[in-house]
Amino acid sequence: MVSIGLMSLVALMTGQPFIFPSLGPTAFLLFYSPLQPTACPRNTLCGHLIGVVAGYLSLVIFGLVDAGPALVVGVSWARVGAAALSLGLTAGVMVWLRVPHPPAGATTLIVSLGLITSIPKLVVLMLGVLLLVIQGLAINRLAGVPYPIWSPRAAPT
């Protein structure tokens, strides 16, 4: 609650998308299961970045960069293709790079469905993810949880 509240406050003060739907499940992972690989900073940051890039690339491929959001203008065949491609790319690249972070699937759909499409706003979106990860590190460490600084901790042998 505190972390998303702070992110919302930053969004309110700046008028920028520092808060967006996939941050909710990301926050859940960071604070409920912080020692799981899907919650580590590497997977969180890389997963959302992959989602943003795949979503934007899908918009470019299907000629939708300047189209309105699907929630406003409706869903076209091009939008179906962009959504499917973005989610497939996001999942595939996360698996290939071994950086799974399920909420990134929502991030790529936010982009490919046209909810956030301008490059400056996508940079802010990624800054929002970074701020959440920093809060996850600080709050977990203050609570005595050995949250990793970058990659998941190795399982004890």
Task: Dump pLDDT digits (tens) for 48-103.
Answer: 999 999 999 999 999 999 999 999 999 999 999 999 999 999 999 999 999 999 99
Residue 94 · residue 104 · CB < 8 Å? yes
Residue 97 in any domain: the answer is: yes
User: What number of CA atoms fall less than 13 Å from residue 135's CA on the CB side?
Assistant: 20
The answer to whether position 45 is within a domain reads yes
User: Is the backbone of residue 76 left (phi > 0), alpha (psi -120 to 50) or beta?
Assistant: beta
- Residue 4 domain-assigned (yes or no): no
Evaluate whether residue 28 is within a structural domain. no
User: What does the alpha-carbon distance between residue 103 and residue 67 come to, in Å, rounded to a whole number?
Assistant: 24
User: Whole-angstrom Cα distance, residue 32 to residue 2?
Assistant: 14
Q: Which residue has the higher pLDDT, 28 or 156?
A: 28
Number of domains in the chain: 1
HSE toward the beta carbon, residue 69, CA cutoff 13 A: 9
Residue 154 has pLDDT above 80, yes or no: no
**What is the pLDDT, as a whole number, of residue 17?**
86
Helices and strands of the chain, counted as H and E runs: 7, 0
In angstroms, what CA-CA distances link 61 with 23, 57, 86, 89?
26, 6, 10, 13
Q: What is the pLDDT of residue 156?
A: 63
On whether residue 93 sits in a domain, the answer given is yes
Position 35 scores a pLDDT of 96
Residue 104 lies in a domain: yes
Instruction: Please report which confidence band the pLDDT of residue 157 belongs to, taking 50, 70 and 90 as the band edges.
Output: low
> What is the extent of the structural domain holding 74?
37-142
